[in-house]
Amino acid sequence: MTVAINCEEIGKKLQEVFPGSVVSTGKADILVDANMLQQVAGFLKSTAGLDFDYLTFLTAVDYLEYMEIVYRLVSLNHNQSLILKTRCYSRENPVVPSVVSLWRAAYYQEREIFDLFGIKFDGHPDMRRLLLWEGFVGHPLRRDYL
Amino acid sequence: MAIRTEPFYLNIGPQHPSTHGVFRLRVTLDGEVVVGLEPIIGYLHRGIEKLAETRTYTQNIPFTDRLDYLSSMTNNLAYCMAVEKVGAIKVPERAEYLRIIFSEIMRISSHMMAVGFFLNDLGAMMTPVLYMWREREKIMDMFEMVCGQRLLYNYMRIGGVSQDLPEAFMPAVKKFLAEMPRYIDEYDQLLAQNEILLARSKGVGILPRDTAIAIGASGPVLRASGVKWDIRKMDPYSLYDRFDFEVPIGDSGDCYDRYWVRMLEIRQSVRILEQAVAQIPEKGPIRADVPQFFRPPRGEAYGYIEAPKGNIGFYIVSDGSIAPYRVHIYPPTLINITALQDMVIGWKVADLIIIFGSIDVVLGEIDR
Amino acid sequence: MTLLDQFQLLLKAENWPDWAVYLTPAVAGILLIIVFILTIVIVFIWWERRLLGRFQLRTGPNRCGPEGIFQPIATAIKILLKEDIVPEKADKLIHFMAPVIVFVPILLIFAVIPISEGAILVDLNVGIIYVIAISSISVIGIFMAAWASNNKYSLIAGMRAIAQMVSYEIPVVLSLVGVALVAGSFSMIKIVEAQAIPYVLLQPLGFMIFFLGCLAEMNRCPFDLLEADSEIVAGYHIEYSGMKFAMFYLGEYGIALAYAGVIATLFLGGWQGPLLPPIIWFLIKVFGIFSVIVWMRATLPRLRVDQLMSFAWKFLLPMAVINMLIIAIEVLVGTMQWLMIILNFGLAALLILLWSRLFTLGGGRVEV
């Protein structure tokens, strides 16, 4: 059974290692500050006992004050899962660090988020539109598009 | 005098008999050897995620049919499971059994189609396709008995399934299951040790284990690379923990292993189906009592299953109204082709087509 | 003394003018051959489609006329009515000439195939060499078609075509030397008359090499990567439509008929056989060989280009040379025919086993 990991413990651990990174922990997810996303993700991937080496989905949701990016990480060896979230408060020029260097699974998903939401990922080798044609104006999946 | 060659671009364009849909590959060739590759997608983008935000939960179910249109039942199931997680709905037992039966029959159909078209790409001129479609016709007749449709079923509902089985269904399934092992043996006899198939697909397009995990592959592609990860065993949903089956894995991750894992999975599906057909309760409700305009509480959930092509999942955010706030569809086939460059570079044009065919993509799912 | 020679003597005896004595039998013979070819090609098209359908668990065409016998005529009418599209940037003259250069040599081969006892257009005493020489001209036509279409897909096909057809010429020629040695002559009629026992029994290895080489020359499965439907969409005739495509299409069946006729003449004993008239025997043998060719098309996948080349150079060529040596030694020593049969079958089996252990078709990843 893939167990959702205990988020409070992980949250506390992360606060010790990276103070100021964890904003809040929900029942099944951890909300992390966008600036420290890469360090937190790297820690989660490489620490023994956590070993989150498999990224399933990576998506974004547009709550009008902010846009929230959701990652679901799975550890194949320990059969555990974790949902990691981060928020992006700017709408004109949203930038979030990219995790492509850690998990290649993010390659197409980050391009898709840029295409449909407009969020740029800092560090992605090929940041362009994926599903819509080049020259399309706008980002359709934002709540204020239509 | 040294011979100088110049690489040139070839566009294996959106319209091509072997790209399994409208998929464009911009390939850089040096003679016949592929030295660069760039997939370009988006030709079938219909904006399902945006459309789903303005329709009720039940109205979104036909959209999910059209994602991986060759295995519609499993898409429906994943979506309904996600909504049930958000709304904390319990599905009755007979409905769970029905869902499992149809998912496994769908898996057999989808794998046979995948293997048949893989061999068609190899050049076997439609003969394996037509042999495998002999069985698929029986499967489509069974589906037509239940929901009236042959390809896009729209059968699962939130809380269960939409219709109960007619009288003739169970005997048809039992007859199908009795004959199936013989047909799979026939396919193995004709194909598994075929010299030309072995020469063209063994060792071709290897996806190493670490790369497969790093790119987040799932389904037969991941299992052929040697990773034993099947959601039905690792994180059982529905009633899969009641059944006894194995998870076949390959050892090297080449095209032949992907084909072989799919053939073995068909056998395991037959095994699960025999147990499910024996265990299903005779009578019972087929759907939980869910109102037509269903308002789940605020929250979010991720419902995912082991579909024939990978782990399809739906991430649903609900704000308490009759339409979901956000639906995100996780496409396993888009993630599986992330490593296409690694697998193909150094091989020839003919191998490119086979490697792409062995990953088994459906463009409806990639483009949504 | 062929039938046309007798006709010529008759005309001379009737005191016709010289030019008429020379011209009339020639024209009559040519017309008869063309009628024969076109009729049999049409029957071949029907036969192939029905047989392929039966292999693929379906009936072939059965709507046009009883059992579909008018289907090829309908196909021919359809192709003739289609618009002849020439791409704008194509080289118009070469594009126009290519089908002609592919089709005419196929007609020329029939000049030396004995259809029945004495029914041959001209009994050249270098019959076999004429066949080989003329059939090589088609390669130029194919490359012209591929180049002039201004299309990268057909260019790839053209390159593959030259490589394939040139490299398979050599094993074919070498296996024919064995036939000529045993018969003692190159002339087709003398070879048929020398076959008290059909040469397929006397030289099984030579027959196998010649058959496979002919399959490659005809671009038929499993060597049909020139027109690989699934990879390079139709290969060298991708930009042809209308009557020019009809010439390629007819040419394909024409050359199948030509090579089947050559195999029947050289290895199966031509028109000889008990009871039935000779032409019926010839047709039975030709249809038998064609059925085997269709059978291979229905069942085998396609080889990749580098596997094809290594098959020709590393497998067929050494076996052809060894075959030639063995036959030469046997003819020199003067072995009796039954002893030759036993010896040759044994040596063929030994060589094929040995080579299949030592030789693998795989490999082919290039470091980029």
Q: Do B203 and C361 touch (CB under 8 A)?
A: no
What pLDDT score does C217 carry?
86
Stated pTM of the model = 0.88
**Chain B nearest C-alpha distance from A58 (Å):** 8
Which percentage of chain C shows pLDDT scores above 90? 5
Residue type, C139: V
How far does Cα A81 stand from its chain's mean position? 14
SS3 C147: helix
Q: Is residue B211 part of a domain?
A: yes
pLDDT class of C17 with cuts at 50, 70, 90:
confident
Residues B184, B263: contact at Cβ < 8 Å? yes
Mean pLDDT of all residues in A7-34: 80
Largest CA distance in chain A: 46
Burial of B225 (0-12, 13-18, 19+ CB in 10 A): buried
Q: Is residue B157 part of a domain?
A: yes
Using CB atoms, pick whichever of C56, C229, C301 lies closest to residue B200. C301
* Minimal-distance CA residue of chain B relative to A73: B216
pLDDT class of B79 with cuts at 50, 70, 90:
very high
Tokens 């996780």: give the residue: B330
ipTM here = 0.91
Q: Which residues in chain B have their CB less than 8 angstroms from residue A54's CB?
A: 213, 216
Two structure tokens written together for A46: 């490489």
Residue B17 contacts C where some CB pair is shorter than 8 Å = yes
Chains A and C touch (3+ CB pairs under 8 A): no
Two structure tokens written together for A115: 């295409």
Using CB atoms, pick whichever of C56, C153, C305 lies closest to residue B350. C305
Using CB atoms, pick whichever of B29, B125, B198 lies closest to residue C297. B125
Mean pLDDT of all residues in B273-298: 87
* Minimal-distance CA residue of chain B relative to A107: B338
Q: Does B222 or C228 have the greater pLDDT score? A: B222
**Chain B nearest C-alpha distance from C311 (Å):** 12
Number of H helices, E strands in chain C: 15, 0
What pLDDT score does C182 carry?
85
Residues A86, A110: contact at Cβ < 8 Å? no
Burial of C63 (0-12, 13-18, 19+ CB in 10 A): exposed
What pLDDT score does B270 carry?
92
- Measured between its terminal Cα atoms, the distance across chain B in Å is 53
Q: Does C91 or C346 have the greater pLDDT score? A: C346
DSSP string, C88-106: TTS-HHHHHHHHHHHHHHH
- What's the Cα-to-Cα distance from C252 to each of C143, C219, C283, C326, rounded to whole Å? 15, 8, 18, 34
How far does Cα B297 stand from its chain's mean position? 31
Using CB atoms, pick whichever of B119, B125, B345 lies closest to residue C298. B125
Q: Which residues in chain A have their CB less than 8 angstroms from residue B234's CB?
A: 1-2, 79
What pLDDT score does C290 carry?
92
Residue B125 contacts C where some CB pair is shorter than 8 Å = yes
Residues C163, C148: contact at Cβ < 8 Å? no
Mean pLDDT of all residues in B87-114: 90
What pLDDT score does A64 carry?
84
A&B contacts, CB < 8 Å = 73
Give the domain extent around B98: 56-367
- What's the Cα-to-Cα distance from B16 to each of A132, B12, B24, rounded to whole Å? 21, 7, 9
Is the bond leading into B14 cis (omega within 30 degrees of zero)? no
The 3 state secondary structure assigned to chain A is CCEECCHHHHHHHHHHHCCCCEEEECCCEEEECHHHHHHHHHHHHHCCCCCCCEEEEEEEEEECCEEEEEEEEEECCCCEEEEEEEEECCCCCCEEECCCCCCCCHHHHHHHHHHHHCCEEECCCCCCCCCCCCCCCCCCCCCCCC
Give residue-wise pLDDT tens across range A79-123.
Answer: 888 888 888 888 888 888 888 888 888 888 999 998 888 888 888
Mean pLDDT of all residues in C92-111: 88
Q: Does C223 or C47 have the greater pLDDT score? A: C47
Stated length of chain C: 368
Burial of A20 (0-12, 13-18, 19+ CB in 10 A): exposed
Residue type, C179: V
Give residue-wise pLDDT tens across range C51-93.
Answer: 988 888 888 888 888 888 888 888 888 888 888 888 888 778 8
Contacts 24+ apart (CB under 8 A), C192-201: C192/C114, C192/C265, C192/C269, C192/C270, C192/C271, C192/C272, C195/C269, C195/C270, C195/C272, C196/C337, C197/C337, C197/C341, C198/C267, C198/C268, C198/C269, C199/C266, C199/C267, C199/C268, C199/C269, C200/C267, C200/C268, C201/C341
Residues C73, C282: contact at Cβ < 8 Å? no
Q: Which residues in chain B have their CB less than 8 angstroms from residue C226's CB?
A: none
Mean pLDDT of all residues in B164-180: 89
Query: How many structural domains are present in chain B?
Result: 1
Which percentage of chain C shows pLDDT scores above 70? 96
Q: Would you tell me which residues 137-166 of chain C have a C-beta closer than 8 angstroms to some C-beta of chain B?
A: 152-153, 156, 159-160
Q: Do A1 and B235 touch (CB under 8 A)?
A: yes
Q: Do A56 and B216 touch (CB under 8 A)?
A: yes
Tokens 């009809």: give the residue: C246
What pLDDT score does A90 carry?
84
* Separation between Cα atoms, residue C360 and residue C76, nearest integer Å: 43
Mean pLDDT of all residues in C310-332: 88
Question: Among candidates B158, B160, B145, which has minimal Cα distance to B61?
Answer: B158
Structural domains of chain A in order of their starting residue, each with its CATH number = 3-94 (3.30.460.80)
Is the pLDDT at C234 greater than 70? The verdict is no
Is the pLDDT at C230 greater than 60? The verdict is no
pLDDT class of C153 with cuts at 50, 70, 90:
confident
What pLDDT score does C229 carry?
58
Burial of C273 (0-12, 13-18, 19+ CB in 10 A): middle
Mean pLDDT of all residues in B317-323: 88
Best interface-test mutation with B: which of A2, A55, A56 has the largest number of B CBs within 10 A?
Answer: A56
Which percentage of chain A shows pLDDT scores above 90? 1
Contacts 24+ apart (CB under 8 A), B268-271: B269/B104, B269/B105, B269/B107, B269/B108, B269/B111, B270/B108, B270/B177, B270/B180, B270/B181, B270/B184, B271/B243, B271/B244, B271/B245
Is the pLDDT at B341 greater than 60? The verdict is yes
Q: Which residues in chain B have their CB less than 8 angstroms from residue A145's CB?
A: 50
Residue C260: Cβ within 10 Å count: 26
Which chains touch C (3+ CB pairs under 8 A)? B
Burial of C209 (0-12, 13-18, 19+ CB in 10 A): buried
**Chain C nearest C-alpha distance from B26 (Å):** 13
Q: Do A133 and B42 touch (CB under 8 A)?
A: yes
Can you give the CATH number for the domain in which B172 is found?
A: 1.10.645.10
DSSP B215: T
Residue C297 contacts B where some CB pair is shorter than 8 Å = yes
SS3 C214: helix
pLDDT class of C292 with cuts at 50, 70, 90:
very high
Q: What is the dihedral of CA B327, A7, B306, B258, to 10 degrees?
A: 110
Which chains touch B (3+ CB pairs under 8 A)? A, C
DSSP B2: -
pLDDT class of C289 with cuts at 50, 70, 90:
very high
* Separation between Cα atoms, residue B180 and residue B187, nearest integer Å: 11
pLDDT class of B346 with cuts at 50, 70, 90:
confident
Residues B140, B113: contact at Cβ < 8 Å? no
Using CB atoms, pick whichever of B313, B317, B367 lies closest to residue A57. B313
Stated length of chain A: 146
Residue type, B123: G
Q: Do C152 and B126 touch (CB under 8 A)?
A: no
Q: Do C231 and B18 touch (CB under 8 A)?
A: yes
Domain residue limits, chain C: 86-358
Average pLDDT, chain C: 84
Residue B304 contacts A where some CB pair is shorter than 8 Å = yes
How far does Cα C208 stand from its chain's mean position? 14
Residues 6+ apart with CB under 8 A from A123: A38, A97, A98, A100, A101
Q: Would you tell me which residues 169-188 of chain B have a C-beta closer than 8 angstroms to some C-beta of chain A?
A: none
Is the pLDDT at C187 greater than 80? The verdict is yes
Residue B183 contacts C where some CB pair is shorter than 8 Å = no
What pLDDT score does C231 carry?
63
Two structure tokens written together for C352: 């094929």
Residues 6+ apart with CB under 8 A from A46: none
**Chain B nearest C-alpha distance from A132 (Å):** 6
Best interface-test mutation with B: which of C238, C310, C365, C367 has the largest number of B CBs within 10 A?
Answer: C365
> Which range, of B63-67, B327-331, C3-7, averages the lowest pLDDT?
C3-7
Residues B68, B364: contact at Cβ < 8 Å? yes
**Chain A nearest C-alpha distance from B207 (Å):** 14
Is the pLDDT at B45 greater than 60? The verdict is yes
Q: Is residue B106 part of a domain?
A: yes
